[in-house]
Amino acid sequence: MTRAALNHAVAHRHPPPGVIFHSDRGVESAAYAIRRRLAALGFVQSMNRPREITDNAYMESFFHSMKSDVVHGIRFTHHAELARSLRSYIPYYNGMRLHSGIGYASPVDYEARTTCPNHVSTKPREDPRGSRCSPCGR
């Protein structure tokens, strides 16, 4: 499942070499096949050292949120059911869920503001005329 998610992200986002791949210390994330694929892409893998939970705080925070929002209290009877829930959570987490660490914006909104030269602030900008930004369409 991890390698399929990685390949999906690479195919759709086309990230450049040097991307940091944050993961937990799970069996799949530490597997040779994942490490080999990350190296082939030029990605840097980031995971906690044993008993050092602050090494990878962003990923740990994501997994905590995902488990709290989706997994806790639910029994999945089939792998496909769990996969469906996780696939629907990622667009919510990235596109709608507000994150305090980035100015109570969603990651999608934050990325748009920080990659467009007209949106470099971490706070949303409102154009009173309602016009759109030509580089990013916001």
pLDDT the model gives residue 126: 45
Extents of the domains making up the chain: 1-53, 75-125
- Residue by residue, pLDDT tens for the chain (138 residues) are 678 888 888 998 898 999 888 876 665 666 778 889 999 999 988 876 666 666 667 777 888 888 888 888 888 898 889 888 888 888 898 889 988 888 899 988 888 888 766 655 444 444 444 445 655 555
Integer CA distances (angstroms), 4 to 28, 37, 51, 115, 124, in order: 11, 11, 28, 27, 34
pLDDT the model gives residue 124: 46
Which pTM was predicted? 0.53
pLDDT the model gives residue 135: 55
